[in-house]
Amino acid sequence: MNNTKRMRKKMRNKALSVLFCVLVYLFLFLPISVIVANSFNATTSKPYMMWKGFTLDWYSKLFDNTLLLESFENTMIIAIVSTLLATVIGTLGAVGMYRYRFKGKGIINGLLYIPVVIPEIVIGIALLTLFSKVNIPRGMITLILAHVSFSVPFVIFNVRARLSGYDKSVEEASMDLGANRIVTFFEVTLPILAPGIGGGALLAFTLSIDDVIISYFVNGQTKTYPLKVMESIKSGVAPDVNALSTLILIGTIVLVTLTQSDILKRKGK
C-alpha cells in the first residue's frame, strides 16, 4: 500500500514537473513563435497583425529593403569589432589584475561593476556627454566605443572566473623548459584561459547585437538593426522585419546546434 502511494506521488510530481517545464517554455518561446508566424503572413495593411494567409513573399521583399539590410550590416560590423576590442582589453585586464598587486586595485575592481549595475540610460547619457565634450562625431566610431565600454567588464568577469582555479606552476614549468614569457603566454596561458575568453567574447557579442538604449544616444545617423526595429514599432512591425528576425533565429539555432554537437563529440572522446 505504501509502495502504491509512493508511486502515485512520484508520478504526480513528475507530471507537475513536466507541466511546469511546458509553461516555462511557452512563456519563453511563444513571443518568438509569433514573430516567425508573422513572417509568413500575407497581410499588407498596418499594423500587420491580422492573419490574411500564408506567403513567402516577405522573404524575397526583404532583400529589396536596403535600409533594413544596411542596419543589420551595421549591427554585425559594430558587434564584431567591439567584441574583438573588448575581448583583448578584458583578457589583458583580467590577467594583469590577477598577477600583479598595485595601489587602487580594490577600487578598480569595484568600478568594474558600475557599467553592469547602473541603468543603461545613465551610461547612454554619460557617453553622449563625453563624446560631445571631446567633439567626436556620433556614428560608427562612437557606437563601437560605447559597446566596448559596457562589454569589457563582462569579459573580465569571465576570464577572472577562469583564473580562479589557475595553476601558476604550469607557466613556471614552461619557462624552466626554455620558453620565454611571450611564448608561455600564447602556448600555455592562453589555451588554458580559452573557455573563459570565449565565454566573455560570446557575451560581449550578444550584448552588442541586443543593445538599444545606449546605441540610441550615440548612433548619430548610423542605424543598427535593434534601432531600426524600434522605429518600425510606431507604425507596426512589418513582416519583412519578422522575416529577417526569423533568419537570424535560424542562424542562431544552427550555430548553437553545431557548437553543442562539437562539445558532445569532445566529451565522447
Q: 153-200: per-residue pLDDT in tens?
A: 999 999 988 887 777 778 778 887 777 878 888 888 888 888 888 889
Strand partners, 41: 54
Q: Which of 64-68, 198-202, 239-243, 262-266 has the lowest mean pLDDT?
A: 262-266
Q: What are the tens digits of pLDDT across the range 1-51?
A: 567 777 777 788 888 888 999 999 888 888 888 888 888 887 777 766 777
pLDDT tens, residue by residue, 56-84: 888 888 888 888 889 999 999 999 999 99
Fold of 68-237: MetI-like fold (1.10.3720)
Domain spans of the chain, in order of start: 68-237
Q: How confident is the model at residue 238 (pLDDT cuts 50, 70, 90)?
A: confident
Q: What is the pTM of this model?
A: 0.83
